[in-house]
Copies of this chain bind each other. A is one copy, B any other.
Amino acid sequence: MATRTRLTPEQRREQLLDLGVRLLADRPIEELSVELLAEQAGVSRGLLYHYFGGLREFLHAVLRRMADELFEATAPVDHPDLVHRLRVSLQNYIGYVRAHQASYRSFQQAAFGGRPEIREIYEEGRAALVNRIFDSATADELAEVGIVDTPASRLLARGWSAMVEDVFMSWLDDPRDLSEEQVIETLTVSLGAILGLVPRD
């Protein structure tokens, strides 16, 4: 009790979110229950309600935390070459998804399986990732790889991110003859190849 009360409410909240992400690392989200939290971490229903308002809200906050972590993990590195920055971001993306595979799949499943609030968290995260590609590069850098920043380009970049996710997930299940490096290289370069095709009138 003494140890607990040393944490500020904000720290305690953070600690619970970290716990949620950790518990999701090896189980699907539908297994995140009040019972599990009590059993695994001594977290009571009352505490959960106090900090988040309920299990559902806690789950949403945990998923938002995962989306934020993915966003942080894939932040563009400080390097003058856009293609290199993108390559490193994809390396880090695959690293994050691999480390959180079960919960990432459950996150997707809940997002696409008709839970609108989870879909919203998922889509916000994805939009943030896609928009950062454009917002973290200058128009000249984009032009060098054949990209012009238009609403149509952003639509196609979103489509590219769906391809990235699909290819990584399938590749994790069955790598065929492709090394991780080859998958990352192909997907990195494909962004420019696709966006170079977008009409510009």
Contact = CB atoms under 8 A, between A and B. Distances in A.
Contact of A189 (B113, B152, B160, B197): B197
A156 interface: yes
Given A112-B108, A114-B109, A176-B151, A167 B171 contact: no
A112 B162 CA distance: 14
A178 B190 contact: no
B176 A152 contact: yes
B155 A171 contact: yes
Interface string A164-175: 111100110000
A176 B160 contact: no
A97 to B, nearest CB: 15
Contacts of A182: 152, 199
Given A109-B114, A165-B162, A186 B177 contact: no
A148 to B, nearest CB: 12
Nearest to A196: B193
Main secondary structure of the interface of A (DSSP, over half): helix
Nearest to A150: B177
Contact of A163 (B163, B177, B196): B163
Interface string A183-195: 0011001100110
Contact of A166 (B109, B159, B171, B189): B159
Contacts of A160: 163
Contacts of A114: 109, 113
4 tightest Cβ-Cβ pairs between the two chains A and B = A113-B113, A112-B112, A162-B166, A159-B167
